[in-house]
Chains A and B, each alone.
Chain A
Amino acid sequence: MNQSLLLQVNDLRVEIGRSDRRVRAVRGASLMVGRGSRLGVIGESGSGKTMMALATLRLLPATGMATGGEVLYGGRNLLQLSEEEMQRVRGKEISMVFQNAVSSLNPLFPVGQQIADVYRYHEGASREEAREKAIAMLDAMGIPDPARRARAYPHQYSGGMAQRAMIAMALVCSPQLLIADEPTTGLDLTIQAQVLDLIKEHIQRSEASLLLISHDIAVVAESCTDMAVMYAGEVLEAGSLEDVLGKPSSPYTKALLECFGVKSDERLSSIAGQVPDLRSELVGCPFASRCEPVQDVCRQEHPTLREIRPKHWVACHFA
């Protein structure tokens, strides 16, 4: 595997749900996170971005299963590791923060203790060392009065502060890769900017990498160096931020970017139609039903990701 690549997802497939309503949430998604880079994955509902992230860390719910593909990290396929080996990876090599921080923390234990526990588990530190490390992390995250805050419980934290605490917990063992799934959604706008700056600062400082999942292009544009666009369980376009935003080549990316702007007559752009039913097998391009310049071949043949420019991949017959 290329040494400058930290994480490589190849043709990942994930299914979820009970036997009678099985949903193919991820259908052959591929992407790469380079060392020291920050990849933003953009997708709307049904794109499979969260499932992909969970599959990477083998955190899928009981009814979910990775049914194909591989996730390469450090020369190993994470999908094939045993649970014990994965536990050593989570928190130490790859960490994750989730959307609703207050409910992602255990309500029964003080926040400082939860952070300290992670540190003790991976680094074998003493209780005292771990406690101090936890306070130091909370301080580094800009939480005022960290010693007192460490003794507080999650429900006593505001949304923004809880998110900072979660990031502290994720970064306490200095992982190589941080996966952040909609870390700022639901927070006040002024807080969102603060949290994003915080993540970016710490990632850059520790020379780690970031996999940021969001539905908001502005968030990705602000914090990332690379971008991948997912739709209906597949990656339709990926490349550097400048390339994907500046020279969008997938019709979906182009249509989505238009939605983020305002048209001249003050109407908002939208994409007609809906995401296809993910319970059935799809033939052809998943975006065919909503693509304006669609042709017959789009409905019949499935387009694979190909490199149309150095380091710029698109899944479209006509890019």
Chain B
Amino acid sequence: MIDGAVPLPVEKSGAGRVRRAHLRQWLLSPPVLILSVLVLCAIFAPLLAPHDPTTPVPAEKLLPPSREHWFGTDPYGMDIFSRVLYAARIDLSVAITSVLLGILVGMPLGAFSGFVRGRFDEVMMRITEIMQAFPPILFAMAVIAAAGNNLVNLTLILAFLNVPVYLKMVRSVTLPLQESDFILAARCGGHSTLSLVGRHIIPNTLVPVFSQFSLSCAYAVQMVAGLSFIGLGVRVPQPEWGSMISLGASFIIFGKWWPAVFPGLAVFLTAYSLNALGHRLRRIVLRET
């Protein structure tokens, strides 16, 4: 007891209530809804697709949208709607996986680098500069030419492009933290440098990383589609939005717009919703901190 005073009582924290109300409003916003639909399509593609996405049916080539084929058929006679659904799996999973890999490598390196400074930091900075000096498309072309045209390579290339982004971001968030009192306090409590970085630095960098995540995914989706468009991504007949657009592009002048437009719409909606989500997250996150 202090001065005979009663232990201070707890007041109901209103902050939790506010956060929950925010969350609800946020979950029902257009970007989140669109993204959820896309993710569900990707997951449940086998159940939702009315036709086989990879077996060519020459007799049915280039049919316009109808009740049988909602998005029409492509030059090989395959149902575009089914292909768009299956393609979602590839585009989304490659994009998300590559960004996650980039974070997994970039975040701890960035945090450690920003915390210990010195030679390790200098070396890391030079490495990221070299990594970022590569023009992305040329780099992708070189790797695919050397190692082959498959999904794994695609994912690794995109991960490589993401590592320096997250490394630098996490490092810049770490730099001011290094001086703070709570780090000093943690040292007094017996933390080693490694455990300090893991327990105290990295959790404090999660917030900006989180808000950057969906922006990176939007970029990755566009990269996957773009690379496939120029022939470096997935091979026919695997369904993938970019290669579908590429295939369908030459038919637009013949008035057959559906093979290119529908996958294009899918890319657009994915990129838009990821971007919008990212911006909303940034606003919420920056306002609350």
Report the separation of the CA atoms of residues A20 and B25 in the bound assembly, to the nearest whole angstrom: 14
Question: With A274-B8, A277-B11 in contact, do A20 and B18 touch (Cβ < 8 Å)?
Answer: yes
Chain B 3-15, CB-CB to A under 8 Å as 1, else 0, gives 1011010010010
B14 contacts across to A, CB distance below 8 A: 21, 279
CA of A314 to CA of B14, assembled, Å: 34
Judge whether B3 and A20 touch: CB under 8 Å. Answer: no
The 9 closest A-B pairs by CB, nearest first: A272-B5, A20-B18, A272-B3, A270-B3, A21-B18, A277-B11, A21-B14, A274-B8, A20-B21
Q: How far is the CB of B7 from chain A (nearest CB, A)?
A: 11
A21 / chain B contacts, CB cutoff of 8 Å: 14, 18
Please, how many residues of chain B have a CB less than 8 angstroms from a CB on the other chain? 8
Using A267-B3, A274-B8, A277-B11 as known contacts, list a sample of 11 further A-B pairs with CB atoms less than 8 Å apart, ordered by residue number in A. Answer: A20-B18, A20-B21, A21-B14, A21-B18, A270-B3, A272-B3, A272-B5, A272-B6, A273-B5, A273-B8, A279-B14
Which residues on A sit within 8 Å (CB–CB) of B11?
277
Q: Which residues of B contact A20 (CB under 8 A)?
A: 18, 21
**B17 to chain A: closest residue by CB:** A20
Q: How far is the CA of A93 from the CA of B240 in the complex (A)?
A: 70
A274 to B5, alpha carbons, bound, how many Å?
A: 12
1/0 per position for A136-176, CB-CB distance to B under 8 A? 00000000000000000000000000000000000000000
Q: Which residue of A lies closest to B287 (CB)?
A: A18
Q: Report B-chain residues with C-beta under 8 Å of the C-beta of A279.
A: 14
Please give, as numbers and ranges, the residues of chain A lying within 8 Å of B3 by CB-CB distance: 267, 270, 272
Name the distance in Å between A315's Cβ and chain B's nearest Cβ. Answer: 25
**CA separation between A274 and B6, bound complex, in Å?**
12
**Can you list 14 A-B pairs, Cβ within 8 angstroms, ordered by A?**
A20-B18, A20-B21, A21-B14, A21-B18, A267-B3, A270-B3, A272-B3, A272-B5, A272-B6, A273-B5, A273-B8, A274-B8, A277-B11, A279-B14
A125 vs B120: C-alpha distance in the bound complex, in angstroms?
56
CA distance in complex: A21, B287 (Å):
13
* CB of B160 to closest CB in A, whole Å: 39
How distant is the Cα of A52 from the Cα of B98 in the complex, in angstroms? 53
Provide the residues of chain B in CB contact with A272, threshold 8 Å: 3, 5-6
Whose C-beta in chain A lies nearest to the C-beta of B22? Answer: A20
Residues of A with C-beta under 8 A to B21: 20
- Look across to chain B and name the residue whose beta carbon is closest to the beta carbon of A277: B11
- Taking the closest CB of chain A, its distance from the CB of B87, in whole angstroms, is 42
In the complex, residue of chain A having the shortest beta-carbon distance to the beta carbon of B5 = A272
Which of chain B's residues have a CB closer than 8 A to the CB of A274? 8
Question: Could you tell me which residues of chain B, from 167 to 197, have a CB within 8 Å of some CB in chain A?
Answer: none
> Which residues of chain A from 242 to 296 have a CB within 8 Å of any chain B CB?
267, 270, 272-274, 277, 279
- Per the bound structure, the CA–CA distance linking A317 and B43 in Å amounts to 70
Chain B nearest CB: distance from A23 CB in Å? 11
Q: Which residues of B contact A273 (CB under 8 A)?
A: 5, 8
A267 to B4, alpha carbons, bound, how many Å?
13
- Give the distance in Å from the alpha carbon of A277 to the alpha carbon of B10 in the complex: 12
In the bound assembly, the distance between CA atoms of A267 and B2 in angstroms comes to 11
How far apart are the CA atoms of A291 and B178 in the complex, in Å?
A: 43
- Compute how far the CA of A21 lies from the CA of B15 in the bound complex, rounded to whole angstroms: 9
CB proximity of A24 to chain B, nearest CB, Å: 15
Within 8 A of B (CB), among A16-73: 20-21
Please, which residues of chain B bring their CB within 8 A of the CB of A267? 3
Q: Of all chain A residues, which has the CB nearest B4? A: A272
Question: How near does chain A come to B19, taking the closest CB pair, in angstroms?
Answer: 11
The interface residues of chain B lying within 8 Å CB-to-CB of A277 are: 11
Most buried by B among A267, A272, A279: A272
How many angstroms from the CA of A277 to the CA of B14 in the assembled complex?
11
Minimum C-beta distance from B285 to chain A (A): 15
Whole-angstrom distance between the alpha carbons of A279 and B15 in the complex?
A: 12
CB proximity of A166 to chain B, nearest CB, Å: 26
Residue of B nearest to A270 (CB): B3
- The closest CB in chain A to the CB of B18 belongs to A20
Q: How far is the CA of A54 from the CA of B222 in the complex (A)?
A: 49
List residues of chain A with CB within 8 A of the CB of B6: 272
- For window 68-108 of A, CB contacts with B under 8 Å fall at none
Give bound CA distance, A21 to B13, whole Å.
12
Q: How far is the CA of A174 from the CA of B5 in the complex (A)?
A: 50
Q: How far is the CA of A190 from the CA of B14 in the complex (A)?
A: 43
| Distance, CA A273 to CA B11, complexed state (A) | 12
Q: CA–CA, A286 to B6, complex, Å?
A: 20
CA distance A277 to B13 in the complex (A): 11
